[in-house]
Structure 1
Amino acid sequence: MAQEDADIFAEVGARLAISRSEIGVSQAAMAEAIDVSHRAYHSYEKGKRGIPIEALIKMHRRYQVDVAWLLLGTQSIRAGHDFEALKSIETSLDQYLDGAGIKIKSEKRGAIAARWYESQLKGRNVTDDEVHTWIEFARE
């Protein structure tokens, strides 16, 4: 697989993990909902392979996930969400991880971003210490 493809798969995988976490379902439940095996879905979130268009359509129909956001990172996860706030959270998280030399799996990164974003939507300010604790639990 070309590096560019690997990067695309990793980006889509991270957004899949964020979406799934935001919806509040397990990987197994999402796999069942979109008619793929748990192993296949896990590989999509890990960025090991691309998710089929049929699965994306089922995800959109069942959970109203924005397919453009999943594929390209544009728009919002669901209508009414603050894309700029989520993008800011992801950027802050990635800067911290890169600066600290911390590697975590894409699905765990997505879960952290989703939790942070959900807290912000509820009007709760998340401290750096909380984010650092979440990262420690997620480390590889």
Structure 2
Amino acid sequence: MSREPSELFAEMGPRLAITRNDIGLSQAAMAEALGVSPRAYHSYEKGKRGIPVEALVAMIERFDIDVRWLLIGAKSVRANHDFEALKNIENSLDQHLIAEGIKIKGEKRGAIIARWYQSHIEGREVADDDVHTWIELVRD
């Protein structure tokens, strides 16, 4: 079953934000690294536009990104990442947001997941209070 481009872009936007946060770059720095304008990159993370092939190639070459994950959510952000832990973090956050009736933008969701995952790979326990604080910081 084929999906509409707008649906694919909307799903890919948060994964771009997760990837960028994992790398540790601002949107402007990521745009520069990929050779696109900051405005264009922002629209990719918001899920409004698809990212050009040239930018995907740059992500592979510069940052060792798993483009399959970026495009369709399969595998992991980078080849050596713990995909199961990342999926569990995403699911936990989404369940909490739904249970609390909280809506946040995709790129902000990606920033929370990236921060939570970074804590995981550094071996730091993430308390519910930490997640609540992160959510409050990004709410509109």
TM-score by length of 2: 0.95
Q: Deviations over 1:79-126 (max 9, x none)?
A: 211001001100111111122111111111101001001101111110
Aligned residues: 138
**Counterpart amino acid of residue 103 in structure 2:** K
1:9-88 map, 5 Å: 9-88=9-88
**Counterpart amino acid of residue 77 in structure 2:** I
Q: Deviations over 1:21-66 (max 9, x none)?
A: 0000000010011111000000000001111111111111111111
Match of 2:15, SS state, is: helix
Match of 2:124, SS state, is: coil
User: Judging changes above 3 Å, is the alpha-carbon distance between structure 1 residues 92 and 4 closer, same or farther for their aligned structure 2 residues?
Assistant: farther
Q: For residue 125 of structure 1, what is the aligned residue in structure 2?
A: 125
Measure, in 2, the Cα distance between the counterparts of 1:99 and 1:5.
29
The Cα of 1:6 is off from its aligned counterpart by 2.6
**Counterpart amino acid of residue 90 in structure 1:** E
The Cα of 1:5 is off from its aligned counterpart by 2.9
Q: For residue 116 of structure 1, what is the aligned residue in structure 2?
A: 116
List, as ranges, runs of 4+ consecutive aligned residues in structure 1 with deviation greater than 3 Å: none
Measure, in 1, the Cα distance between the counterparts of 2:95 and 2:127.
16
Unaligned runs of 5+ in 1: none
1:83-102 map, 5 Å: 83-102=83-102
